[in-house]
Structure 1
Amino acid sequence: MMSVVGGVLLLSLILGPSSAGVEGEESVTDALDVYSFHIRSKVSSRYAVTVITSRVANRASAPREVDFHVELPKNAFISKFNMTIDGKSYSGVVKKKEEAQKQYSQAVSRGQSAGLVSAVGRTLEEFKTSVTVAAHSKVTFELTYEELLKRRLGKYELLIKARPTQVVKDFKIDVHIFERQGIRFLETHGGLASNDLARAVTTNLTDKEALVHFSPSPEQQQCSDCQDKGLSGELRIVYDVNRPKSEGELQNVNGYFVHYFSPSGLSRIPKNVVFIIDRSGSMSGTKIQQTQEAMLKILDDLHKEDHFGLIMFDGRVTPWKDDLVPVNSDYLALARDFVNNIRSEGMTDINNAVLKGVQMLSRFGESHSGKESTSILILLTDGDPTTGVTNLDEIQKNVREAIRKRYTLYCLGFGFDVDYKFLERMSLENDGLARRIYDDSDAALQLQGFYDEVATPLLLDVQMHYTGASNVTYTTFGQYYDGSEIVVAGQIDYNDLEIFNAEVKAKMKGNDSIFHEVLIGNERNASKTLDHYIFETYIQRLWAYLTIQQLLERQVLLTEEQQTAVREKVLALSLKYSFVTPLTSMVVTKPEGEEPHVAHKPKEGNTKTQTKTQTRTRIFASPIARSSFLQGASSSSSSASSSSSSAVRRRHKNTRLATKGRATARIRSGIAYLDIEEKPTARILPEIAFLKVLLPAQGQNTSICFNVEAPRGLIPKEAVFKLLHDPATGVSINGEMLKRGHFLKIGVRYKDKCQIKANTTGIMVTDEGKEQLIFWTDTPTSHHCDGISMTMQNKVLDVSVGNISVNILLHEKDKKSFLWADIRQQDPIPKAKGLLGRSPVSYVLKETSPLVKLEILGKEVLATRDSAVDFRTHVKPTVDCWLVPFSSLVPESLLKILGL
């Protein structure tokens, strides 16, 4: 059973001025006084309930705005939030996500102050809200969240980081840990427990309880490294519990049980491991260096009973040896040389690489059939497959059918260019798990740490059975590794049951084994009495927490119908226990005149992208920002509509025409409008920039790509292209291109009924003169405009009208945001024109030497091997393509009209 990083608690309280401040008044830091700052965490049998309380006084003679900002573990669920202002309380209410989002959107559409308060980081999530505090008034914030600490490498860890931004008179962190099994060891680490601050930490440890208290004086908070902004540091509490050699720990309170199973004293099972390492071009530089560093350390840690293999892959699959070899000094020396000489180049063939690893394990199993061992594959990749089999579903099927439940596959996704859901599905289907390796300075340590977790298998095929229980969490586990822990929770059918029996069957080195744990009536009563003073319902809430986590983790493997049933169950539990999960949000009520905030459970993603989106949302919510958006969207408006008389006047002002035949490229106010209709293309001016477009090819694995040349020279920053125009339906889609070949704005127009204008900060929808703002968000939402339906999810706006649909995606590259449009048609549209609204074409490869020739639309054209980024998904894979002239994709009849 694998475990992940333990509980993490981080708190930041950020203070900012309100626009109501008076010139010449005292500074904000003097006016806003955080006079009390408490963190209380109670941990009962690994289940932690943490309450963060901050009290702030506005000592100014004018209103001030106070931001409450808390970072919490990704695995935690917020369960309570409360603000108290001048004795009056305002509480957060957990609602179905769609209901909460609707309430938020209504507030924003009125141009009032509101903001999403969700973000995601590497190991943390963020809760953030704000409130305006009247002069000489006080506010108290109180946030509660819950989590199950997971055992990793033989310990649990609670990490508390405090950054209150100023010296606090009453500053306390209190952690109370109660473990019925007894606490084997407990240590405190981190900046808040070192140097002079070590005197502010006190620890009282008894057999079953630990109290950790941190209370720095104002003088201790004024450290030399704090820059007069108070403390900024972390307190890490690391501990483990006593463990019997075979039995686990079984507990019951109020009809719910939890079983912690982590036997010690077992012999390790030899393992056969194949490391499958991506060395494609995208791994060049730091990534490949960190991979080499980690692999060298992992080779040193291989056990003498193990066997191992190495596979490097790009567009080719290169095994170090054709078969697994034993761990000895000679093979290790050769393996180190092989790792040191890894060079990154080429494409990415995941399918053949994994299948090669499976073949190596199969051959080894056939030749060592009498020896007891376990076999695993560890795949490390930083991107999507770009050669060989590239269909993700097909790769999953091939790998699943090859492994046939015989081996375990772990998938490590390096960075954010990889399709992480694909890796999750593939690993879960093969009894493993996926882990993201963050592209950071400690990536080598992350890789090492993962290997350490699976380095020592102790049990295989673990089956947990409970007599008289129902609604039990997962009970089947492929492996149990040293240093981890299996946790199962459920309900006892009859609370007066005299004997509650737990049975664990597993394979261990040398033989199969059965572990028993029995909880009889007197012990159950003692359990209830002993644990009641911690909090009476902790096992019930632990059961709900674990059930939700496991259901969400496994839903990627389910059918659509099964996923619907799982979501209903998760939603019901989330609402019952007031957990903020991916299906719920917390609406933070605020005083009259201030709109509510909404706290979401964010998805795994890029920290910078998520944070920037949050910032845009908050800026966007004000009337001034809304006005700025409308001005910025005017270009998209003119892209999508040419009927406005003011737009016509602007279009002819400072206009310069470049013509060839009937072609026109209008240049006005620094924007070139390149019409690709029944008019020839514009004369190309100096300094050409390219928009590279991918076009799927029927019956071929390799796509077609073509460059569209955007005029430059006297044309400054942008050029507007017609992406699709269908005169039959009245649908027009235009895009305004950036210098770098990406879209800054995309406009969609349907007759005179509906206009949609998207830019990198949001979407403006105009329906019969009424305007509505839509914000880029991961949350599923739906909107309607006369004749058009729109849905938003994962920062993708799906616009559908008739048999035409377009996905408008918000992307980020090199810290810059841009848009892309993926236009799809159910049936070919004969009279439709445009760059992206083209149906797939077929081609025949005629010659490959000395020049590549393709036959397209009945004519032979020269082509070159190239690659292009596919912006139709957020993964943005780089794919192979045949680069051809755009004119080769246009029928002869249209070429004559265009004059090409």
Structure 2
Amino acid sequence: MLPHALLLLCLLLASASTSPVRRDTVTSTGKVKDLDIYSFHIKSTVSSRYAMTVITSRVANRANESREVLFHVELPKNAFISKFSMTMDGQVYNGVVKKKEEAQTQYHQAVSRGQSAGLVSAVGRTLEQFQTSVTVAAHSKVTFELTYEELLKRRLGQYQLLIKARPTQIVKDFKIEVRVNEQQGIRFLQTQGSLIADERASAINSTVSEKEALVQFSPSKEQQQCSSCMEAGLNGDLIIIYDVNRAQSKGDIQVSQGYFVHYFAPTDLPRIPKNVVFIIDQSGSMHGQKIEQTREALLTIFKEIPEEDHFGLITFDHQVIPWKDHLLPATSDNLLAARDFVRSIRDRGSTDINSALLEGVQMLNRFRESHPQKGTASILILLTDGDPTSGVIDLRKIQANVKEAIGRKYTLYCLGFGFDVNYEFLEKMALENEGVARRIYSDSDAALQLRGFYEEVATPLLLDVQLNYTGVSNLTQTRFAQYYNGSEIVVCGQVTDNNLEGFTAEVKANTKREEVVFRTAVEEKGMSEMLTLYIFEMYIQRLWAYLTVQQQLEKTLLLTGDEHARMKEQALALALKYSFVTPLTSMVVTKPAGEEQVSHKPKEGEDPANKGFQTMRHGSGVMLGHGSGVMLVHGYPGGYPASPMRPPVFHQLPGIGLDHLDQDSAYDMDYDMGPATRPSHGPGPRPSHGPAPRPTHGPATRPSHGHVDAPTHMPTQVVPKHQSVRFLLPGSNPPCYDLNVEGDPIFVLLEDAGVSITAQVKGAGFSTIAIHLGQDRHMMVNTTDISLGTDLYSWSQLPDSVQYHSVLVHGYGRELKVTLGGIIFHTVLYQQDGDHFLWPDINQSLPGSNVTGLMGRLHTQYNLTQTAAPSTDLTILGQVVTASRASAVDYRLFSMPTVDCWLFQYQSVLQGELSDFKVHKL
């Protein structure tokens, strides 16, 4: 959708259950016998409207035989999956994103082998479904983890995050956590929803400060019980509603690492009068509830149109029936007469969309000729439920006729009623005329949906909005026909050579009375605050990629021939680079037995029958069969058949071990799987999540000079191994350099004003990191635990926030953030090829000239002579060196994207040799 088309965004539902083939394992309450979902977490981090959500579901098979477990998640339609993994017996199985055609080949090969190879998605109002299944051995566990990303859009003055949770049983460790960070400041934040109703109100905790908010929902097992759900557990939603402060009419611009985002939502502007023509389908297919709900919605709308507006009303079937042949002012008498006409609308005849739309355009043309004043917004709103069956029925001809008639003078919004409508036809016609398409679902609240859409476009504030920038490239959409009250315009791009001096932003638009210009210079400020969470570090770059792919996919609907192919190729390349699941790619999931499944991202209105699936209704869901494999897929709201997913997009990502790495992993450690698998510590209460006694290392392990001996439990290598670690400097096209080392050496990462950080190399990263504050305060981080002085925590036991002297420590599952004055140290725990390693990143708000260490100068300014050739000259710290094209995995980000970089020799940035930074002890 276009950026000003604001949709209610939903988060997701994650659940595990047995395969429908094994119905004998399901109890009358819906709970699966011997399958226990013992941990269910939904964690969403929202950074300046950009949200990354991780769903983790842990399931134990307590039976004496293997069982099939189904992982089922609902996620927002406009979200892109960016990661999926299953972990069993210490082995990680990652989803891999490929081009749609390549994945389809694997799909057909799997079908030919008789495997259940299709992952199927149902399309609901705001959700689409993802699912996969895996066979779990007796007394074994599986962890599912899915990550997706989305841009929240402002609608009617607020952002909404809706989390729907239905784990299908009472869960021992149930937690929903939402973190919101907005640099503009949070104006208000509210929580509501059925999950926090009645006795569960005490399970929600909200903390809101000037720029940050934390919402946590952790119901006890008793609170998850209710009279209607019994053993099936909770089934409801949690809604987070908020908005930000908007002190500047010119908007808010944020810049980070060569990318910028401009949020433009001016306030205190006069309302622009609008001229609106409602074009209503009253053909026979609208019979019954559809026509009744349409009447109900119009009767309400015609109560609320401001008197300064003008309006017209056309109904059509095989004939076009205008209420009046011209627009009328929205006086009380005219609105009362229009409501009388609406009550007389009856369904009949066939459908002549072409003639109805052209009559609507002519009505606006006549009004424009008789009222030549500027400063009004003219729009057409079409509501139909089917294909044209009368008059011109060729869809391409209708689109061409309407586009030519409108001639970019007016905006067309197309509302498709129900699932019989040709949504792609409506979407293309709306996009060609600077509008959007929206599906209206044939449910009991359809009238409310219609009124809600009208409210979004009821109050125009600006017309012909054009955003202009200097010193930038690769911009997302910069022209918008209207800006409506309560919405927001978002533009992203790249800053040329990361140079803010030449970067300016200007917005030109028309108000009710005059043309206005908003100008602003851009300064890179507040970046130390923005980099305090992992999603902040490259969130602007990922937001740019997300928005660019979405808009490129829209453009493919409008282009033909070579232009269509070129735009499609660009969208595909960008989606693959950023590991986004989109309609141009598919995700292949390989199971432990070698079976492969292919997941397709759904397209609005897609029909399962067109994809070669045999469908038959089964209870509240749909049984989908293909070959010998059968899966149960719950239908979407309204009971419509599920539809296969269209293609998604994934890079192959290094595996991340989940068994003991995130906050709920303590439940893994002591989970009772029966006598055969009981942990050696025996029965008893679950270990405390507080500090554990520190192992007795003895005083000798704390040398007076502040360094700590390397852990004695690390294996000793008889033959030194060669390892290479690649560092990235910040930026959109960053330089990078390699450290080629032998064995497991220890290096100084940073030395600055009494702070020392050292680390031991292992694999692609580091095995242990030590932080020293002066002579007597020390922190140690390794792949199993974290020590703060004499207190020891496992990764799973570390609280969200710990104060250690003047240091603030935050735990985020497999991520750790340490704030030491002006230094922010961040590390992520990874697993790759069966080994665990740490990847650190350091940001300094006020870096000084005396800072040393391997990472002490990562934020050094640099210049590249050119960026299109295979090699270039890099100027850094007064030296000119040659850099060549390369790529690197960016471990600073949890999603581990592979990025392009310019490889150069490390000596120029380190201002020395590796031996200068090598030490003997941590």
Shorter-chain TM-score above 0.5: yes
1:569 is matched with: 570
Larger mean Cα displacement after TM superposition, 404-413 or 451-460: 404-413
CA distance in 2 between partners of 1:20 and 1:376 (Å) = 54
Shift of 1:70: 0.2
CA distance in 2 between partners of 1:192 and 1:203 (Å) = 14
Contact 2:8 2:126 in 1 (8 A): no
2:747 is matched with: none
Larger mean Cα displacement after TM superposition, 512-521 or 502-511: 512-521
Partner SS, residue 145 of structure 2: strand
Shift of 1:418: 2.2
1:637 is matched with: none
CA distance in 2 between partners of 1:12 and 1:221 (Å) = 16
Contact 1:117 1:614 in 2 (8 A): no
1:647 is matched with: none
Shift of 1:417: 2.2
With over 3 angstroms needed to count, the CA separation of the structure-2 counterparts of 1:253 and 1:285, relative to structure 1, is same
Partner SS, residue 138 of structure 1: strand
2:198 corresponds to which of 190, 195, 218? 195
CA distance in 2 between partners of 1:624 and 1:270 (Å) = 58
1:553 is matched with: 554
2:146 is matched with: 143
With over 3 angstroms needed to count, the CA separation of the structure-2 counterparts of 1:614 and 1:2, relative to structure 1, is farther
Q: Deviations over 1:520-556 (max 9, x none)?
A: 25x2xx3255334242111111101000111112221
Shift of 1:112: 2.7
Verify: 1:101 aligned to 2:85, yes or no.
Answer: no
2:600 is matched with: 600
Contact 2:279 2:382 in 1 (8 A): yes
Contact 1:183 1:209 in 2 (8 A): yes
What is the TM-score with the length of structure 2 in the denominator? Answer: 0.65
Contact 1:15 1:66 in 2 (8 A): yes
Partner SS, residue 497 of structure 2: coil
Amino acid corresponding to residue 604 of structure 1 in structure 2: E
2:88 is matched with: 85
With over 3 angstroms needed to count, the CA separation of the structure-2 counterparts of 1:392 and 1:28, relative to structure 1, is closer
With over 3 angstroms needed to count, the CA separation of the structure-2 counterparts of 1:150 and 1:23, relative to structure 1, is closer
CA distance in 2 between partners of 1:437 and 1:231 (Å) = 28
CA distance in 2 between partners of 1:122 and 1:25 (Å) = 30
Contact 2:207 2:213 in 1 (8 A): yes
Partner SS, residue 548 of structure 1: helix
CA distance in 2 between partners of 1:624 and 1:120 (Å) = 21
CA distance in 2 between partners of 1:143 and 1:24 (Å) = 25
Q: Deviations over 1:249-291 (max 9, x none)?
A: 1001110111100001110100011111111111121111100
CA distance in 2 between partners of 1:365 and 1:20 (Å) = 66
CA distance in 1 between partners of 2:225 and 2:336 (Å) = 53
CA distance in 1 between partners of 2:402 and 2:24 (Å) = 67
Contact 2:609 2:615 in 1 (8 A): no
CA distance in 2 between partners of 1:363 and 1:18 (Å) = 61
1:661 is matched with: none
Q: Which runs of 5+ in 1 are unaligned?
A: 627-760, 762-774, 781-900
Partner SS, residue 228 of structure 1: helix
Contact 1:177 1:211 in 2 (8 A): yes
CA distance in 1 between partners of 2:358 and 2:626 (Å) = 51
Q: Deviations over 1:81-108 (max 9, x none)?
A: 1111121111111111111121122111
2:315 is matched with: 312
Q: Deviations over 1:857-892 (max 9, x none)?
A: xxxxxxxxxxxxxxxxxxxxxxxxxxxxxxxxxxxx
Verify: 1:284 aligned to 2:287, yes or no.
Answer: yes
Contact 1:400 1:430 in 2 (8 A): yes
Q: Which runs of 5+ in 2 are unaligned?
A: 617-621, 632-640, 649-922
Amino acid corresponding to residue 346 of structure 2 in structure 1: R
1:861 is matched with: none
Contact 1:120 1:610 in 2 (8 A): no
Shift of 1:596: 1.6
CA distance in 1 between partners of 2:629 and 2:206 (Å) = 52
Q: Deviations over 1:450-497 (max 9, x none)?
A: 110100000000001111111110101000000111000011112143
With over 3 angstroms needed to count, the CA separation of the structure-2 counterparts of 1:187 and 1:609, relative to structure 1, is farther
With over 3 angstroms needed to count, the CA separation of the structure-2 counterparts of 1:388 and 1:498, relative to structure 1, is same
Amino acid corresponding to residue 595 of structure 2 in structure 1: E
What is the aligned residue count? 629
Greater RCO (Cα-Cα under 8 Å, separation 6 or more): 2
Verify: 1:240 aligned to 2:243, yes or no.
Answer: yes
2:177 is matched with: 174
After TM superposition, list the pairs within 5 Å mapping 1:243-258 onto structure 2. 243-258=246-261
2:355 is matched with: 352
With over 3 angstroms needed to count, the CA separation of the structure-2 counterparts of 1:538 and 1:245, relative to structure 1, is closer
1:219 is matched with: 222
RMSD: 2.7
Contact 2:72 2:129 in 1 (8 A): yes
1:210 corresponds to which of 172, 189, 213? 213
After TM superposition, list the pairs within 5 Å mapping 1:356-505 onto structure 2. 356-370=359-373, 372-505=375-508
1:260 is matched with: 263
Verify: 1:3 aligned to 2:1, yes or no.
Answer: no
Contact 1:20 1:63 in 2 (8 A): no
Larger mean Cα displacement after TM superposition, 96-105 or 388-397: 388-397
Contact 2:120 2:644 in 1 (8 A): no
After TM superposition, list the pairs within 5 Å mapping 1:34-53 onto structure 2. 34-53=37-56
Amino acid corresponding to residue 298 of structure 1 in structure 2: I
Amino acid corresponding to residue 282 of structure 2 in structure 1: R
Contact 1:3 1:485 in 2 (8 A): no
Verify: 1:538 aligned to 2:539, yes or no.
Answer: yes
With over 3 angstroms needed to count, the CA separation of the structure-2 counterparts of 1:611 and 1:56, relative to structure 1, is farther
Shift of 1:113: 3.9
After TM superposition, list the pairs within 5 Å mapping 1:16-55 onto structure 2. 16=18, 29-55=32-58
1:131 is matched with: 134
Shift of 1:149: 0.5
State, as a whole percentage, how many aligned pairs show the same letter: 63
Larger mean Cα displacement after TM superposition, 21-30 or 183-192: 21-30
What is the TM-score with the length of structure 1 in the denominator? Answer: 0.67
After TM superposition, list the pairs within 5 Å mapping 1:498-897 onto structure 2. 498-521=501-524, 523=525, 526-527=526-527, 529-535=529-535, 536-591=537-592, 593-605=593-605, 613=613, 620=625, 623=628
Partner SS, residue 220 of structure 1: coil
With over 3 angstroms needed to count, the CA separation of the structure-2 counterparts of 1:337 and 1:136, relative to structure 1, is same
